[in-house]
Amino acid sequence: MLRSALSTLHSNLPAASVQAHCDGPCGVYDPASATVSAEAVVSMTKKLLELQPPSGNDPAAWAAYNNTFSRFVAIKEEQAQQTKNELLILWTDYFKPEHLATFPNLHDIFWKAAKLCSACKVNIDQSKADELIKAVEAIHTMFWKSKGRNDAWVRAS
């Protein structure tokens, strides 16, 4: 009986077909969050490279150094993963096949940026961090151009 009622309801009140670019059609996309995370990767990489181990065998100094080093690495890796997550959302949810006409290298840029995020997680390499921020800037430019805008690239640091 319920099945019959639902069938009658469905045939008399069909739902309109809808389309969405992602699982939740919020429409809120912005490369700014990827920019902030990538900047943190650059900053933490720089701090790690500048961090000097203590001279001597003072256990307290070594404990402080190891604690600071570990925290900086954890933050760098977390922010590199966050950058990757934000970029993948833009790549897979915002950009569409029709964007390839305007940006034929879109997939290559995103793929390389994602690989740079991974490289920044497993290395302490300032050149990789700098490449990452440049890749995020290129994505920023593509994103805003796809919206018919020319928003300035602004870094927090």
Better-predicted residue by pLDDT, 17 or 7: 7
- For residue 66, is it within any domain? yes
Total tally of structural domains belonging to the chain: 1
The closest of 127, 151, 123, 122 to 137, measured between CA atoms, is 151
Angle at the Cα of 83 from the Cα atoms of 45 and 134, rounded to 5 degrees: 70
- For residue 132, is it within any domain? yes
**Element holding 37 (H helix, E strand):** helix 32-50
Between the CA of residue 131 and those of 92, 99, 106, what are the distances in Å? 22, 24, 16
- For residue 118, is it within any domain? yes
| 28 has pLDDT over 50 | yes
Domain that holds residue 139: 29-147
pLDDT score of 94: 93
- For residue 23, is it within any domain? no
What CATH number does the domain containing 139 carry? 1.20.120.400
Highest mean pLDDT: which range of 15-19, 22-26, 126-130: 126-130
- For residue 93, is it within any domain? yes
Mean pLDDT, the chain, as a whole number?
A: 90
**Helices 106-122 and 32-50: angle between axes, nearest 10 degrees:** 30
| 126 has pLDDT over 80 | yes
Mean pLDDT along residues 73-88: 97
pLDDT band at 24, cuts 50/70/90?
A: low
Those residues whose C-beta lies under 8 Å from the C-beta of residue 117, and which sit 6 or more positions away, are 41, 80, 81, 83, 84, 87, 132
Q: Residue 128: what residue type?
A: K
- For residue 24, is it within any domain? no
Mean pLDDT along residues 76-83: 98
| 142 has pLDDT over 50 | yes
Using DSSP's 3-state secondary structure scheme, residue 88 falls into helix
Residue 76 and residue 78: Cα distance in Å, rounded? Answer: 6
- For residue 92, is it within any domain? yes
CB 65, CB 51: distance < 8 Å = yes
Residue 10 and residue 69: Cα distance in Å, rounded? Answer: 62
